[in-house]
Chains A and B, each alone.
Chain A
Amino acid sequence: MSTPRRTRGFTLIELMLAIGLGILVIYTAYSGFRMASQCIVVANRLSLENSLIRAGYSMAHDQLDYWTNLDDPNDATHETLRLSGLNVSGQNWAYSFTAQAPFPTTLGLPFAPMNATGAAAGAFPANVDPTSGASSGSAVPRNASTGGPMVVLPLVGTVPPANWENDNGFDPTYAWAPHDPRTWFRGNPLEKWLWWVAPNTSPTIMGRYGAFTNVTPTPVFSTYTVNGPYPPPQTSAPSYSANYQASSNYPPHLWYGRQLLGLSRAIGWYGLFDYLPANTMFGYYLSFSQAGGNLWGNTSSAGNLATFYTFPGWNGQNYAPYPWQDPFVANPINPTGWVSNPNGGWYWNFVGQGMGPTTMGVYSLTSTSSYAVSNPYGDSIDNGIIDSNTLAWRCYSYSNSDYSATYNGNNQGAALGLQYFIATTLPLKAIMAGTPTNWPNVLVGCGHYIKSAHYVNLAKIRWTSPLTGQVAELSFDGLGTTLRGARMQRRPGSATGWANWDNATGATNDANMDGPQ
C-alpha cells in the first residue's frame, strides 16, 4: 500500500513574498502602461491642437489671399461689401458727399461695382464725355479688359487723343504711368489759408490752380480778397481784391481729380488708398459754390482745392478741435446709434495727422489714422446683423491709431475706439462648426487696414484649451492679394464665382470686378 505523496505547498512567507513581488511587478507594469497611456493622450491632444492650429494657419493664409472672410463669390449671403448706390446724405457723418457733377452722391463699399449703371449704379460714374455728354468717344476701358497686361498710354512719340483728359470712369487696363501728364498732381501744397493770420479772406489753400485742373469743365470762381498781414508780427497790410476766372476753354486737366473723386465714392477710403498709386496727392479742385463758405471737403471757394482732409467744425473763424475726436471714440460700442461728438463737433471722415490743413499724401494721412475694410460678419460686435449705413460709416471713416490711442484721456475714449476698430476689422471666427466640446476652440481671422502707409494684412489664430481654458494667440502680417487683386479674382454679379484667368495663346478670360460692369 502506497502512501499518497504529499505535495509541498508554499509557506506563508513564500506566499507573502510572491504576492508582494507579484503586486510590485503588476503595479510597475500598470504604472508604466498608465504613464504611456497618459503620454499618448496628452500627445494626441497636443497633436489635435497642433493640427487645428495648422488648419487655422492655412485658413488665415487662404483669407489673406482670397479675402473669402469678407466676400464669398459663391455665397450670395456673404456679399454685403458689394453694396453700392448707398444714399447716406441724411447721415451727419456724410456731409461731404455732396453732388459734384458728374459724380453721384451715393457711396459704394469695397467690393462694389464701380462703373455700374442703372439701378445698381456704382459710385463711380458711367463713362461720359463731359464735353459733349456723349457716352462714346471716351470709352473705358481703352484696352481689352480680359485681364491682360496693363497698357502704357500714351504711347511713346504719340499725341494723346483730344479727349484724353475726359475719362470719367476707372480704366482697369490703363497703367497709371508717371510719364503721362494727366497723372500729375497740380497744386501748391504749401500755400494755405490761415484765418488767424489773414481773417476776412477766402481760404487760399493749395494755391489757385483751379483754372488749370478741376473736376468740372466749367468751374465758377468768385472774387477773393487778399488781406494781410502775413506773416506776423505785422498787424495790418494793404489788401486787394482779385477776380479770377477760367478761360472759355475748360481747365485742361480733369482726369486726376475725377479719378480721385470717383474712387473716393466708389469703394471706401481703404479702397481709395489701395487703388491709387503710392505717390498720390489726395486733393482736387472744385468749382466755387458756397459764397464765403469755408467748409472743406465739401466745396471750395475761389477755386481752391478740396482736400480729403476734412476739418469739420472749422467754420469761418472758429478754430476747430483736433481730429482725434473720431466717430469710434464718440460711439465705440453702439454703432447703430448716431450720437453727437461729445465736444459738439462733427464726425471725422478722412483726416490725416490733425496738424493743419493741406493736401497730403498717403503717409501723412495715415501716420496717426488707420483705414480698414470693415468686416460685416463680426459676431462679437454686430451679432451678424449690420445695417448698410453703419457699414458705410465704417468704410468711410478712420480710426485714431497714434500714440494717443493707447489711453482714454480727456474723456475721448481713444483706446476704446481703437479696440472697436480692431473688433470690426478683424473679427475671429471658428474654423469649423460642430466640433466636439473636448476639442480646442480655434478662431481665425484676417483683417486689412492701412497705417503709416503700410498695407497691413493682419491674421490672427486664437485657440482655447478645453481643459485649462488657457488662451493663446498667434498673429502675423502677411504679403498677399490686395483689395484690387481680390476684385480681379471675382466675377461681377452675385454668387457668380471666381473669375478665370489664363495666359494661354487665345485664352478668353472672364470679366472681373475690376472692370466695367
Chain B
Amino acid sequence: MSSRPRPAGARQGTILIIVAGMSALLATMALTFVAKMRADAEESALVLQEAQARIMLAAACNYIQEGSRIGWDTYKAAGSANPTDANDAFPGDPNSSATVPVHEETFGWIDTRDGSSGPKTQEGRVCWTNVPAVTWAPSGSPQRPLWPAPTSIVRCPMYVWQRPPCATQLTAAYNPILTDPNQTSNPTYLYPFLHNPDPQPQVSNGWVQLAPGTNPPAAAPTISTTLYDDGANGATQSDFIHGDPTPRTQTMNKSWFRVLREGPATFLITVGAGGTMGFRSYSEASAQGFATLFNSDSGYFQDLSDHEMRMWYRVEWSAAVTDVTYHWNLHHTLGWQDNYTQWPQNASHSWAYGPRSSGFDRNMGGTFRWIERLRTEPTFW
C-alpha cells in the first residue's frame, strides 16, 4: 500500500496566516497603545512645564522681595564713576579709602525714608547706576543699565549650583560631648568643649575637626584664606564665599525667570519652562557672550525656544507688610484685660508657629499690591 504525499504546505500556510494575522493585530494595538501613551506623555510634559513656569512666578516674586532689602554689595565709593566689586567703600565712612566688600541692608525698591528709587544703603548710596551696559532683545534696542537700575533686566536661570555660596557642611554636631563609657578616664568625659568651629564650610579651609576626647593641637592650624575667599573678582569655583556655579546637569533646561524693572516698584516678570535659560533670542545670548551655552548654534536655540512655555506678569511691590495687631484687642474670656499686656510684641512666650504669635507675621521683604497676567507678549521683557 502506498500513500500520496501529504499536502503539508496547506496546513503550514494556514497556521502562518493565522499567526501573522494575530501578530499584526497585536502589533497594531501595541503601536496604537504606544502612540497614545506617547501623546499622553507629551501632554503631561506641558502640564509639568506649566507647573514649573508657575513656580517661577513665586520665585521671581520672592527674588523681588529679597532684593528690596538684601543682596547688593556693589555701590560706588565717593569719586568713583561706577560701582564695582573692587571699589566698594565701607559703609558709614564714605571718605574712607578702604574697599571692603560688604552686604549692606537696603530700604526697598521705593526707599521708605524719602520715596526715592532704591535700593539704597543706610547712608543713601544708590546700589546701581544708569550707565547703559547690556544689550537685550529685540535687536536694535538701546542698551540697558545693569540690574537693579530702573529699566534694567535680570535673567535668572534656575538650575542648581554644584555648591551655592557660603555652603556649610551638614554636620549636625561639631562638638559632641564625649559619652563613651569606655573613656570615663578621659578628662573631657561628659564635658562640653568647643574645640571645633561650628559650623564649618563645605570647602575645607583648614579648620580641624577633632574627635571627641581629642585634645586640640598645640599649634593653631593653618587656615586657607584663599579657599575662604579667593578675592572679590573671579571666583575659582573652589572658595567658600563664591561657591561653585557649575550647573548640576539633571537640573538644566527646566525653568527660569527674568525681571524687567519697568518702574520704581513695578516689574514685568517673564516666567519660562524650557532650555533657553531666559534668553529671549539667540542674538541676545550672542550679544551678551553666551552663545556657547547653545553650542553657538542658532538652530539649536530656536528648537529649545519652540518647545518652551513662557508667561508674562506685571506686579507692583510695596514696602508694606502685614500688621501685628492680633493682640491689640480685648481678651475674649477675661474681658477687661487687654491682650497686649499678656502678649506684647515679640513676647518670649509667643511660639513661632502659633497663629497668635506676633512673630508669625514677620516679613522683611515687603508685599505685592497686585499681580496681573498679561494676555499677550509685550514688546520688551
Binding site for B on A (CB under 8 A): 5-8, 25-26, 29, 32-33, 36-37, 39-40, 43-44, 47, 50-51, 54, 57-58, 61, 65-66, 148-156, 175-180, 189-190, 192, 194, 196-197, 231-232, 274-275, 277-281, 322, 352-364, 367, 452-453, 478-482, 484-486, 488-489, 498, 500-504, 507
Taking a contact as CB atoms under 8 Å apart, the answer to whether B320 and A176 are in contact is yes
Give chain A residues whose Cβ lies under 8 Å from the Cβ of B347: none
Decide: B3 and A488 in contact? CB cutoff 8 A.
Answer: no
Complex: A85 Cα to B124 Cα, angstroms = 48
Contact of B328 among A39, A65, A360 (CB under 8 A): A360
CB<8 Å pairs between A and B, sample of 10: A29-B22, A57-B47, A61-B54, A194-B330, A279-B323, A353-B326, A357-B330, A358-B329, A364-B328, A364-B329
Q: Please indicate the chain A residues that have their CB under 8 angstroms from the CB of B116 in the complex.
A: 156
> For A156, what are the chain B residues with a Cβ–Cβ distance below 8 Å?
114-116
A residues less than 8 Å from B115 (CB atoms) = 152-156, 177, 179-180
Query: Which residues of chain A have C-beta atoms less than 8 A from B47's C-beta?
Result: 54, 57-58
Query: Given A156-B116, A479-B57, A503-B379, are A47 and B323 also a contact pair (CB < 8 Å)?
Result: no
CA distance A32 to B21 in the complex (A): 13
List, in ascending order, chain B residues with CB within 8 A of A486's CB: 372
Q: Does B112 contact A (CB under 8 A)?
A: yes
A153 CB to closest chain B CB (Å) equals: 8
Contact A43 B373 (CB under 8 A): no
B323 → A minimal CB distance (Å):
3
A363 touches B40 (CB 8 A): no
Question: When A and B form their complex, which 7 residue pairs have the shortest distance between CB atoms, in order from nearest?
Answer: A149-B263, A356-B330, A361-B323, A485-B372, A277-B320, A504-B379, A355-B332
Q: How far is the CB of B8 from chain A (nearest CB, A)?
A: 14
Residue of A nearest to B111 (CB): A179
Contacts of A355 in B (CB 8 A): 329-332, 339
* A278 touching B322 in the complex, CB below 8 Å, given contacts A61-B50, A480-B373, A485-B373: yes
Q: Report the tally of A-B residue pairs with Cβ distances under 8 A.
A: 232
Query: Counting CB contacts under 8 A, is B338 at the interface?
Result: yes
Contact partner, A44, options B36, B46, B336, B363, Cβ 8 Å: B36
Most chain B beta-carbon contacts within 10 A, residue among A179, A452, A504:
A179
- Cβ of B375: which chain A residues have Cβ within 8 Å of it? 66, 489, 498
Is the pair B54, A479 in contact by a Cβ cutoff of 8 Å?
yes
User: Which residues on the B side are within 8 Å of A65 (C-beta)?
Assistant: 373
B207 interface residue, CB < 8 Å from A? Answer: no
What is the minimal beta-carbon distance from A235 to any residue of chain B, in angstroms? 14
A356 to chain B: which residues have CB within 8 Å? 329-332, 339
Tell me whether B378 and A190 are in contact (CB under 8 A): no
Write the nearest CB–CB distance from B29 to chain A, whole angstroms: 5
Q: Assess whether B262 is interfacial by the CB under 8 Å rule.
A: yes
Give Cα A167–Cα B143 distance, bound, in whole angstroms. Answer: 39
Measured CA separation A478–B271 after assembly (Å): 15
Q: Decide: A488 and B4 in contact? CB cutoff 8 A.
A: no
Q: A153-B115, A278-B321 are in contact. List 4 more A-B contacts (CB 8 A).
A: A7-B4, A66-B375, A498-B375, A504-B380
Residues 1-32 of B, flagged 1 when their CB comes within 8 A of A and 0 if not, give 11110000000000000110010011001101
Residues of A within 8 A of B356 (CB): 367
> Is there an interface contact between B374 and A501, defined as CB atoms closer than 8 Å?
yes
Task: Tell me which of B44, B114, B329 contacts A179 (CB under 8 A).
Answer: B114
* Contact of A488 with B379 in the complex, beta carbons under 8 Å: no
Q: How far is the CA of A278 from the CA of B43 in the complex (A)?
A: 39
Among A359, A361, A480, A507, point to the contact of B371 (Cβ < 8 A): A480
Known A-B contacts A36-B30, A481-B371; A197 and B325 likewise in contact (beta carbons under 8 Å) = no
* Residue in B33, B263, B316, B329 whose beta carbon sits within 8 Å of that of A40 in the complex: B33
A63 to chain B, nearest CB (A): 11
Which B residues touch A358, using CB under 8 A?
A: 325, 328-330
Residues on B with C-beta less than 8 A from A488 are 370, 372
- A484's nearest neighbour on chain B, judged by CB, is B370
CA distance A51 to B111 in the complex (A): 49
Contact A277 B369 (CB under 8 A): yes
Find out whether the CB atom of B110 lies under 8 angstroms from the CB atom of A322: no
Binding site for A on B (CB under 8 A): 1-4, 18-19, 22, 25-26, 29-30, 32-33, 36-37, 40, 43-44, 46-47, 50, 54, 57-58, 61, 110-117, 262-266, 268, 313-314, 316, 318-326, 328-332, 335-336, 338-340, 355-356, 361, 363, 367-376, 378-380
Q: Which residues of B contact A66 (CB under 8 A)?
A: 373, 375
- Hey, which chain A residues are within 8 Å of B262, CB to CB? 148-149, 503
Establish whether residues A360 and B325, one from each chain, have CB atoms under 8 Å apart when the complex forms: yes
Given contacts A29-B18, A176-B318, A192-B330, contact A281 B336 (CB under 8 A): no
Q: Once the chains bind, are B319 and A177 in contact (CB under 8 Å)?
A: yes
Which one of B322, B335, B378, B379 has the highest number of Cβ atoms from chain A below 10 Å of its Cβ?
B322
Determine if A54 and B44 form an interchain contact, defined as CB atoms under 8 angstroms apart. yes
Q: How far is the CA of A275 from the CA of B370 in the complex (A)?
A: 8
Smallest Cβ distance from B200 to chain A, in angstroms?
37
A488 CA / B375 CA spacing, docked (Å): 11
Q: Report whether A150 and B114 are in contact in the complex, using a CB–CB cutoff of 8 Å.
A: no
Bound complex: CA A278 to CA B317 (Å): 11
B329 to chain A, nearest CB (A): 4
Q: How far apart sit A479 and B115, CA to CA, in the bound complex (Å)?
A: 28
A residues less than 8 Å from B367 (CB atoms): 277-278
| CB neighbours of A363 from chain B (8 A) | 322-326, 361
For the complex, give the distance between the alpha carbons of A8 and B367 in Å.
96
Do B373 and A279 have beta carbons less than 8 Å apart?
A: no
| Alpha-carbon distance A65/B325, docked complex (angstroms) | 31
Chain A positions within 8 Å of B372 at CB level: 481-482, 484-486, 488-489
Within the assembled complex, what's the spacing in Å between the Cα atoms of A197 and B313? Answer: 53
Bound-state CA distance A194–B338 (Å) is 11
| A196 to B61 alpha-carbon distance, docked (Å) | 48
In the complex, how many angstroms separate the beta carbon of A179 from the nearest chain B beta carbon?
4
- In the complex, chain A residues whose CB is within 8 Å of the CB of B112: 177-179
Whole-angstrom distance between the Cβ of B358 and the nearest chain A Cβ:
10
| Chain B residues in 8 Å Cβ range of A47 | 36-37, 40
Is the Cβ of B323 less than 8 Å from the Cβ of A150?
Answer: no
| Shortest Cβ distance from residue A459 to the other chain B in the assembled complex, whole angstroms | 11
Does the CB pair B371–A485 fall under 8 Å? Answer: yes
B33–A361 touching, CB < 8 Å: no
Minimum C-beta distance from B194 to chain A (A): 40
A189, A356, A452, most chain B CB atoms within 10 A: A356
Question: What's the least CB distance linking B140 to chain A, in Å?
Answer: 12
Contacts of B111 in A (CB 8 A): 179
* Contact A40:B336 (CB < 8 A) given known A177-B110, A501-B378: no
Cβ–Cβ contact B326 & A367, under 8 A: yes
Which of B26, B43, B355 is within 8 Å of A452, CB to CB? B355
Quick check: B58 and A36 within 8 Å, CB to CB? Answer: no
- Measured in the bound complex, the distance between the Cα atoms of B43 and A177 in whole Å is 44
CA of A177 to CA of B356 in the docked complex: distance in angstroms?
28
In the bound complex, CA of A426 to CA of B114 (Å): 43
The residue of chain A having its C-beta at the shortest distance from the C-beta of B311 within the complex is A65
Partner of A5, one of B4, B26, B338, B379: B4
Contacts known (A58-B50, A156-B114, A363-B324); A484 close to B369, Cβ less than 8 A: yes
Q: Which residue of B lies closest to A488 (CB)?
A: B372
B44 CB to nearest A CB, Å? 7
Question: Known contacts being A179-B112, A277-B369, A363-B326, is A190 close to B340, with CB within 8 Å?
Answer: yes
